[in-house]
Amino acid sequence: GLELSHCVGTNSLGPVGPWRSGGPCKMKRVRTVFKPEQLERLEQEFLKQQYMVGTERVDLAATLHLTETQVKVWFQNRRIKWRKQSMEQKAAKLSQFGVIQPASADSTDSKDHQEDTVDVEL
Task: Tell me the C-alpha distance between 44 and 24, whole Å.
Answer: 43
What is the tens place of the pLDDT at every residue in 4-59?
555 544 444 444 444 445 556 778 878 899 999 999 999 999 999 999 999 999 99
Closest CA to 42 of 32, 54, 30, 57: 57
What value does the mean pLDDT of the chain take? 76
Burial (CB count <10 Å: 0-12, 13-18, 19+), residue 109 = middle
- The architecture of the domain spanning 41-94 is Orthogonal Bundle (1.10)
Q: Where in the chain are the domains? A: 41-94
**Helices 36-48 and 54-64 sit at what angle, rounded to 10 degrees?**
160
φ/ψ of 10, rounded to 5, equals -100, 160
Share of the chain above pLDDT 70, in %: 60
